[in-house]
Amino acid sequence: MAKQIGYSKKVMDHFMNPKNVGIMENPDGYGKVGNPVCGDLMEIFIKVKDDIIEDIKFKTFGCGSAIATSSMVTELAKGKNIDEALKITRNDVADELDGLPPQKMHCSNLAADALQEAIKDYKKKKK
Ligand code: FES
């Protein structure tokens, strides 16, 4: 069997076949964050109905781990109540992916932070 070189199978799956990639016209919430460690960028768009995230898309200029973690974050957030989705942490994302190499943990910040920004944006607009 090939020796695992740092990335779990789930990370590779989400990297090769990322879910919810794209942009959204007129999203209900939009979040954009830059990663202070590497300078990469992440954008998340959400459509919300009755406080449930009905649809979600992401666009990133990040590395493979950023792609895999955003794909996972969008999968975790879809169908959730916004307050539940707000509690998704980068550790949840990394756990769901069966771990990330330590030097790549900063990449998972992007996805979780952009999701939080998008939800905050939605809440601000709703007021
Ligand atoms: Fe920048 Fe991973 S190296 S997001």
For 95-104, the pLDDT digits (tens) are 999 998 888 8
Domain hosting 47: range is 9-126
35 CA distance to ligand 1 middle (Å)? 7
Whether 122 maps to a domain, the answer reads yes
Using one digit for the tens of pLDDT, what is the confidence trace for 32-55? 999 888 999 999 999 999 999 999
Using one digit for the tens of pLDDT, what is the confidence trace for 3-19? 446 799 999 999 999 99
Cβ–ligand 1 distance for 18 under 6 Å, the answer: no
CATH code (residue 120): 3.90.1010.10
Whether 25 maps to a domain, the answer reads yes
Whether 120 maps to a domain, the answer reads yes
Using one digit for the tens of pLDDT, what is the confidence trace for 67-125? 999 999 999 999 999 999 999 998 899 899 999 888 888 888 888 999 999 999 999 99
Cβ–ligand 1 distance for 110 under 6 Å, the answer: yes
The count of structural domains within the chain is: 1
Whether 4 maps to a domain, the answer reads no
What is the DSSP code string of the chain?
Answer: -PPP-S--HHHHHHHHS-SSBS--SS-SEEEEEE-TTT--EEEEEEEEETTEEEEEEEEE---HHHHHHHHHHHHHHTTSBHHHHHT--HHHHHHHTT---GGGHHHHHHHHHHHHHHHHHHHHHH-
